[in-house]
Amino acid sequence: MGFTKPYTYADGSVLSATNHASNEDALREYVNQEIIAADVSVDTFVGESIATPRLITSVQTGDFVSKTIQGVSKLRLPQAYSWFTSTTKSDNQTSTTVEDYQSLSNTGAEVVITKDNTKVMITFYAKAASTINSTVTRGPGNGLWESKFLLQYEKAGLITQYDGTRAYVWENADGIVGVFLNPGAQANACGHRSIMMTRMLTLDAGRYKFSVAVNAKVEKGQINCQSFTIETFHV
């Protein structure tokens, strides 16, 4: 059946914001979720009937009828590298308990969700490289130290991290083994790693600032190429 608005104005009635909003909300729900084949006449629904996407190039965002896509890709250009370091921890650079997660640049975006139980899919890939620590930083055990990557978001000042997305890169060194985690390899095989994450989330309404963060245990590490997409499914 066609659309029937929940409130009908009568002549002389006072305009009500609540009643007017109920009509708009009902129409929005009908257009997006309740139209059936019998509501559309044959050969009347064409490509021009679908709204064109809104592209916001400054924040790499495309708003489509059914979802919003955000993302960025970076080639291996030295001037575009994302860097991380453990030196922000002072004397605790290689501590197994002291954590200092640093958000990597260009690894996420702010997602605005307007209704509860919205599906969001995040896909991330990066090539991480790590150098060998100095003798002073090497610390107890004189072994390979790992840097841990996680997907996270900030909402209302609180950080939520997903440990199931964890990935690692180790010092690029040979002849020593891992201190906390054994990479099963040495030199470039452990010091150059692909970081891959895919996560489907169900989130309530609000603003979410997604990023990939690293708890660095090396004095100098980098992300030299990367890509991410965030898909928010409105329907």
pLDDT at 139: 47
Residue 103: pLDDT band by 50, 70, 90 thresholds?
Answer: very high
Residues 61-81 have a mean pLDDT of 87
Burial of 78 (0-12, 13-18, 19+ CB in 10 A): exposed
Residue 79: pLDDT band by 50, 70, 90 thresholds?
Answer: confident
Q: What are the DSSP calls for 109-166, one per residue?
A: -EEEE-SSSEEEEEEEEEEEEEPPPPHHHH-GGG-B-EEEEEEEEEETTEEEEEEEEE
pLDDT at 140: 45
Q: What percent of the chain has pLDDT over 90?
A: 36
Q: What CATH fold (topology level) applies to the domain 54-233?
A: Jelly Rolls (2.60.120)
Instruction: Tell me the domain boundaries of the chain.
Output: 1-50, 54-233
